[in-house]
Chain A
Amino acid sequence: MKITTIQESDEILLSGIARADPVEVKKLYTDYWPSISGYIRNNSGTEEEARDIFQDAVMVVYKKLKNEDLHLEVPFGAWLLAVCKNMWLSRLRYKKGKRMQEVSEMLPDPGPGIPQQMENLQVEKVFYRHFENLGGNCREILRQFFNKVPMRDIALAFDSSESYIKKRKHHCKEQLLNAVRQDPLYKEWMK
């Protein structure tokens, strides 16, 4: 992975985010959540909205790391705050009648491609929510099947036959896709 940062500690943190290391994720929340949550709640947002924005911003970071598209010329904390501010201001513009403390503030551009990434992230978020609502057995079968684990090995792990796993995989996928199709956020995105 190739990333450019100006601080060594940022590089460690970002490598941790790229591999979903729980220790670095914890550090991320300890170091940056209070200021970002404070900013959003100071600007007409609720705590739940702050959580949403923070998660979306971290997923943008992750996608950029995955595409080797993250070159920081400022400390990571400042960059993350700028991304969150931009996301929050866009969301506020979308909601009518809201007033902001810092509406005229000029924010640094966090980089190209974020609007497109945001759109994909919203769909991913819908998938994630419904995926977590599936039974553990369904989640595991789908995960293994689509990550190319041989059918024989999956059947062995679940102590059943390949034909059962094939049927189950279809059933689980259908259950997930039906839930996504009916999700109001997904419908809005498909308009």
Chain B
Amino acid sequence: MNNASSTYELIERYLNGELTAAEKAAFEKRMEEEPAFREEVTLHRSFQDFITDENALALRRAMAEEEARLPRSGGRILSINRRLLAVAASIVLVVSIGYYFFRPVTTARDLFDRNFAPYQMILSSRSGAGTDTLQNAAINRYQQADYERSAAAWSQLIQKDTNNMAAYFYRGICNLVLRKNQEAREDFARSSAHESSLFSQQAHWYTALSWLQEGRKKQACSYLTPYRDQEYKNEEINELLKSICP
């Protein structure tokens, strides 16, 4: 058992009231003396509060679904006087800075369009039967930009091997093209589940793009910020963060 694992287990036993009196006393003394440890315990407690409240989780999901159905009604509403003021200001702006007035607002969707391109196919077709034939079909459909059928073939491959990271990743790209953003995010999360995965950095990039395609800059910002130092698309990530983080 490694260090992190044993610390996690110790904290869980404390939170579940499973420590002996002596262990509990030592644990609480450590919390008093080590602020970082105290912080860690707070984090675990928050996690347990979150994960054990199943109705709260279901409520958040139900609200997210309702929100997805709401029509987008745009930004702030200006009152009449402020609107007149805005018109007057606009005229001044048109006269004084011309071009700049007409610069388009960069929406999340613009940023998505500017940054998104399906990931290149790095797998090669193989001669063989069964799984190989299926993988060849998935690859060929992908290269022909037939993303719906390619996704179906990747799904069959996943059914045969639930640890096929490449299949999750490329199905994620297909889902992103098909605007199935939530499904795409789930696929990218699976494809980057292991640090050693060939596609984890790419998956971070495309997950952020899925939020942008949904028009949600804030989520894209908060998701992508921890990965600002990664190698893949490093320059693009930092450029994008400048546009989406307040």
Contacts and interface: CB of A to CB of B under 8 A. Distances in A.
Interface of A: 17-22, 25-26, 28-29, 33, 37-38, 41-42, 44-48, 51, 55, 58-59, 62, 66, 101, 120, 123-124, 127-129, 131-138, 142-143, 146-147, 170-171, 173-177, 179-185, 190
Interface of B: 4-5, 8, 39, 43-44, 46-63, 65-67, 70, 72-77, 79, 162, 185-186, 189-190, 193, 207, 216, 218-219, 222-223, 225-226
Given A18-B55, A59-B59, A62-B59, A47 B75 contact: yes
B47 A135 contact: no
25 contacts: A18-B55, A20-B56, A21-B62, A22-B62, A44-B76, A48-B216, A48-B218, A58-B63, A101-B79, A123-B50, A127-B47, A128-B60, A129-B222, A129-B223, A131-B51, A133-B189, A133-B223, A135-B189, A142-B51, A171-B193, A174-B4, A174-B8, A176-B47, A177-B43, A185-B222
A47 B56 contact: no
B114 to A, nearest CB: 20
A42 to B, nearest CB: 5
Query: Which of B60, B70, B216, B222 gathers most chain A CB within 10 Å?
Result: B60
A82 to B, nearest CB: 20
A171 B193 CA distance: 9
A62 B219 CA distance: 23
A29 B53 CA distance: 22
Given A42-B79, A182-B225, A146 B63 contact: no
Nearest to B75: A46
B219 to A, nearest CB: 7
Nearest to B42: A190
Contact of A143 (B51, B56, B186): B51
Query: Which of B4, B50, B162 gathers most chain A CB within 10 Å?
Result: B50
A101 B56 CA distance: 34
Contact of B59 (A20, A29, A129): A20
A58 B72 CA distance: 20
Contacts of B207: 133
A28 B39 CA distance: 37
